[in-house]
Amino acid sequence: MKLRLTSIQRFSVHDGPGIRTTLFAKGCSIRCPWCANPENLSHEIQKYCTESGVWKQYGEDYSIEQVFDICMKDKNFYGADGGITASGGEALLQAKPLAELFKRLKEEQIGCCLETSLYAPEKNLELLRNYLDYIYVDMKVLDEERADDILNAPLQLYEKNLKYLFSAFPREKICIRIPLVDEMTFTEKNINVISEHLKNFQPSKCEIFSVHNLGSAKYATLNLAYHKFRKITEEELLKVKGYLQKQSGNTCFVIH
C-alpha cells in the first residue's frame, strides 16, 4: 500500500496546533477555481520543467514505512500539541493507506490531524475515525444553486459527510475553515448558508481567511489556466467574522 504525495512539509505551523509534519496528498475530487496547489489536483504523477530547465515531477509514491520514518524524525518536536496533518489535495481519497499510517503514529502517541474538503466517499471518513485528534473542514460554496458548478462536484456528498462528521466526532475536535473568495464563497447568499450551517453544527472553532494568489508559477508548469482573485480586505474579513459570530454564536478567528 502506497501513499501518493506531492510533498512532506516538516516544521509546518499552519496546519494544526504545535509543530507538525504535513503530508500533501496528490489528487482531489473537486476543482476550486482559487486552488493554490494545482499540483495536487490530479492523482497522476506529472512531469514538469523548472525555470532553470531541470525536469522534475509532481508526486511520488511512498510506502507507509517511508512516510512513518519521516514523521518520526521530528517526534521530539511535536510535544503534546503537534503531530501529523494529512492535507492535500484531498487526503481522504487515500484513506486506506492513511489509516494504516495513522494507526502506527497513534501507537507512538503522535497526534493526527486531517484537513479535508469532505468530497470523498463516506466510508473513507469511517476508516480514519479511530485515529483523528483534530479535523479541519472546509466550508466553501454551500449555495446549492452554484456549488456543483463552481466546484465540479455534488454538494450532497459534502452535506452527508458533514453530518456524519459531527455525529462521529465531538465538536471540540472540529474546526471549520472558510476561504473567502470574491464572487465565489464571498457572496451574501453563501455567507448566509454558511452561517446556518455553523448554527446547526456548532463547531468549536472557525477560521476565516482570504486566499492568496501564490500558485501562479505552479499553474504555468502544468499548463493550466490561472484565475486571479481580488484580495478580500481586512475590513471585509472582520465584517464577515462579526456577522458569523453574531448569527451562529461561534468563535471565529481571522487568520492570515
> Given the complex with ligand SF4, which of 22 and 37 has the nearer CB atom?
37
Say whether residue 225 binds other proteins (CB under 8 A). no
Q: Which helix (H) or strand (E) holds 39?
A: none
Pick from 8, 23, 35, 244: which binds ligand SF4 (CB under 6 A)?
35
Q: What is the CA radius of gyration of the chain?
A: 18
Pick from 44, 49, 63, 79: which binds other proteins (CB under 8 A)?
79
Query: Which partner from the list ligand SF4, other proteins, none does 40 bind, CB cut-off 5 to 8 Å by kind?
Result: ligand SF4
| x-or-dash string of contact with other proteins, 20-59, rule CB under 8 A | --------------------------------xxx-----
In the chain the beta strands, taken as DSSP E runs, fall at 2-12, 20-25, 46-49, 55-58, 60-63, 83-87, 111-116, 134-138, 174-180, 205-210, 252-254
Q: What number of CA atoms fall less than 13 Å from residue 250's CA on the CB side? A: 30
Q: Indicate the Cα dihedral angle 110, 114, 120, 121, nearest 10°.
A: 40
Cα 129–chain centre separation: 17
| x-or-dash string of contact with other proteins, 181-220, rule CB under 8 A | ---------------------------------x------
Say whether residue 11 binds other proteins (CB under 8 A). yes
Query: Which partner from the list ligand SF4, other proteins, none does 28 bind, CB cut-off 5 to 8 Å by kind?
Result: ligand SF4
Query: Which partner from the list ligand SF4, other proteins, none does 33 bind, CB cut-off 5 to 8 Å by kind?
Result: none
Query: Which partner from the list other proteins, ligand SF4, none does 89 bind, CB cut-off 5 to 8 Å by kind?
Result: ligand SF4
Say whether residue 40 binds ligand SF4 (CB under 6 A). yes
> Given the complex with other proteins, which of 88 and 97 has the nearer CB atom?
88
DSSP 41-67: T-SS-EEEE-TTS-EEEE-EEEEHHHH
Say whether residue 155 binds ligand SF4 (CB under 6 A). no
* CA–CA separation, 21 and 113 (whole Å): 10
Query: Taking a C-beta distance cutoff of 8 angstroms, is the pair 102, 128 a contact?
Result: yes
Q: What are phi and psi of 209, to 5 degrees?
A: -155, 160
Query: Taking a C-beta distance cutoff of 8 angstroms, is the pair 19, 13 a contact?
Result: yes
Pick from 73, 123, 163, 171: which binds other proteins (CB under 8 A)?
73
Contact footprint for ligand SF4 (CB under 6 A): 28, 30-32, 35, 37, 40-41, 88-90, 117
